[in-house]
Structure 1
Amino acid sequence: MQQELKLRILSGVILAVIVLLATWYGGVAFSLLSALIGLLIYYEWSTITRLATEQPVANAIGWVGQVAIAVAVVAGTFRYSLLLLSLFFLVAVGFVLVSKTSRWFPTGMMYAGLTGIALSSIRGADSVGLVAMLFVFAVVWATDILAYFVGRAIGGPKLAPKISPGKTWSGAIGGVVSAVIAGSLVTYFAFPQSVVFVAPIAFILSICSQAGDLFESFIKRRFGVKDSSRLIPGHGGIMDRVDGLIFACFAAFLLAGLFSLIKGGEMTSLGAALFGV
């Protein structure tokens, strides 16, 4: 047990260093990380939902799509990556409509493909993108950590007993409150004038982060697996570690698009939308 704990801590520290270094450098470094995360998520998704073994043709097409999206993400061609995601998602939907292909196929295409696109889009290549990504990390990590400790300390009614019996409403509320505080602190040190505006954004992202956690729990329970994979020693799989981050990034990406529509201009970055720069 002690050896397993040491392995868990060591792999966790190594992962944190890699992610934070890539976040600091941004540009191609973070785009590569984003693309890799997207590809690994599709690998785990196709394994969990049995696409890889039961529907190899559909899965092969899915891999072609995910690789194409990953290349577009690394190349920094935002519009092409979205176009490719839309195209292969429609192809996947078509497979479902004309054959016995599982409905988890198009869901997995969107889940994995949009993850890489959203992550890369939030970070971008400038200092504003760095703060925006750190803001999202702070919200997600604060939500995850404080929800666990507050839930253990206070207990009370279960949040979703049929999906994740350990989660409580007290933990969920504690996670949201801590996320708003953490997100506001990150913003205060970089763009103090935007603190009031980002608080409700942190609130929304925290709720989405917890929804992402519950979604992955539902998927694993649905297919009877404990971990999404064994890619990370002592931790399980990539999806086990980034489930909350995925939904938070989806929400941040969509909010940036919404802000762009309101302003009537081209797609702006989350950082520009949040901090008014």
Structure 2
Amino acid sequence: MSNLQTRIVTAIVLGAVTLLLTWFGGTSFTLLAIVMGAAVFHEWVALTAPRQTTFSRIFGWVWFALTAALLLWGASASVTIGVLVFGAAFLAPLTWSACKGWSVAGLLYAGLPMISLSLLRGDEPFGFTAIIFLFAVVWATDIAAYFNGRAMGGPKLAPRFSPNKTWSGAIGGAAAAIAAGVLVASLATPPGNFIVPVLALLLSVIAQVGDLAESWVKRVFGAKDSGRLLPGHGGVMDRVDGLVAAAVLLYLIGAIFAEPDVPSAIFFGM
């Protein structure tokens, strides 16, 4: 089986499981978000091992587990996010000389998307729509950027961070994301709202920025992949690098324009 075929099979299996748990929502989806966050944190700690200490590893895992427990318990958004941020702020001065912020960045990089995804889904009627919208935009960006970039080539997007990504791929990914976002939103909300394509574009751009940022981290530490958990994709971070960034942005938008505890309520007004 070629690498592309392995990549497609892995994506289909993961996509099916993810969509099923998204449909269930509640604790099932929160557990999915926690497992994803834990895998990301594990790979981050392993990847940045030269900038980790025994204390930063132990404290990071303890604080990540505490944050996950608060999510499962159903604590409010302000409490859960506040505890995570407090832990990162507490860790920063204690580890800065040895870790230079990498331990703190990892805790936030794994924890904030975990919280964002769980709160976006919640148990609300529009939680499912919010997550499917997010998935559609990010997945369309990823798939279209990959195939459009390979087919058209052209100028590199950011060769210092990721030598294979092109402007043609980025533009194709953004166009596909807008189409996917409009399609998903039209199934749940009245068509014709200009906010939908704008939001899809913003999420696509931030997803691609997240992809580039993860590539930059790997280059800093001389790694090709973040791990080997996913056949054809490398590590979990390699698979969700765009999703984690887009999830946090969508949560922030929902928290600002709707409610921090029910961010998916923003879809009522779309």
Alignment of 1:1-277 (within 5 A): 2=1, 7-50=6-49, 54-77=52-75, 78-97=77-96, 99-193=97-191, 195-260=193-258, 266-267=259-260, 269-276=262-269
Structure 1 residue 229, shift from structure 2 partner: 1.1
Residue by residue over 1:138-172, the C-alpha shift from the partner in whole angstroms, topping out at 9 and shown as x without a partner, is 10011111112222222221110111111111111
Q: Aligned residues, how many? A: 269
Residue by residue over 1:100-141, the C-alpha shift from the partner in whole angstroms, topping out at 9 and shown as x without a partner, is 333101111111110110111111113311011000001001
Runs (4+) of structure 1 exceeding 6 A deviation are: none
RMSD: 1.9
For 1:169 and 1:259, the matched residues in 2 are separated by 32
Residue by residue over 1:9-34, the C-alpha shift from the partner in whole angstroms, topping out at 9 and shown as x without a partner, is 44333212211111011000000011
The one-letter amino acid of 1:138's match is A
Unaligned runs of 5+ in 2: none
TM-score (norm 1): 0.90
For 1:3 and 1:161, the matched residues in 2 are separated by 26
For 1:96 and 1:212, the matched residues in 2 are separated by 25
Distance 1:7 1:251, change over 3 A: same
Structure 1 residue 39, shift from structure 2 partner: 1.1
Unaligned runs of 5+ in 1: 261-265
Instruction: Give the structure, 1 or 2, with the largest relative contact order (CA under 8 Å, sep 6 or more).
Output: 2
Q: Secondary structure of 1:17's match?
A: helix
Distance 1:59 1:241, change over 3 A: same
The one-letter amino acid of 1:227's match is D
Structure 1 residue 4, shift from structure 2 partner: 5.7
For 1:30 and 1:75, the matched residues in 2 are separated by 14
Asked if the contact 1:220–1:228 (Cα under 8 Å) also holds between the matched residues in 2, the reply is: yes
Structure 1 residue 40, shift from structure 2 partner: 1.1
For 1:200 and 1:28, the matched residues in 2 are separated by 31
Asked if the contact 1:198–1:274 (Cα under 8 Å) also holds between the matched residues in 2, the reply is: no
For 1:100 and 1:140, the matched residues in 2 are separated by 35
| Range with bigger deviation, 208-217 or 118-127 | 118-127
Distance 1:7 1:202, change over 3 A: closer
Asked if the contact 2:124–2:262 (Cα under 8 Å) also holds between the matched residues in 1, the reply is: no
Q: Secondary structure of 1:67's match?
A: helix
Distance 1:206 1:173, change over 3 A: same
Distance 1:62 1:51, change over 3 A: farther
For 1:227 and 1:249, the matched residues in 2 are separated by 22
For 1:51 and 1:39, the matched residues in 2 are separated by 20
Residue by residue over 1:162-221, the C-alpha shift from the partner in whole angstroms, topping out at 9 and shown as x without a partner, is 111111111111111111111000000111257422111111000000001001100111
Structure 1 residue 75, shift from structure 2 partner: 2.1
For 1:201 and 1:195, the matched residues in 2 are separated by 11
Identity of aligned residues (%): 43
TM-score (norm 2): 0.93
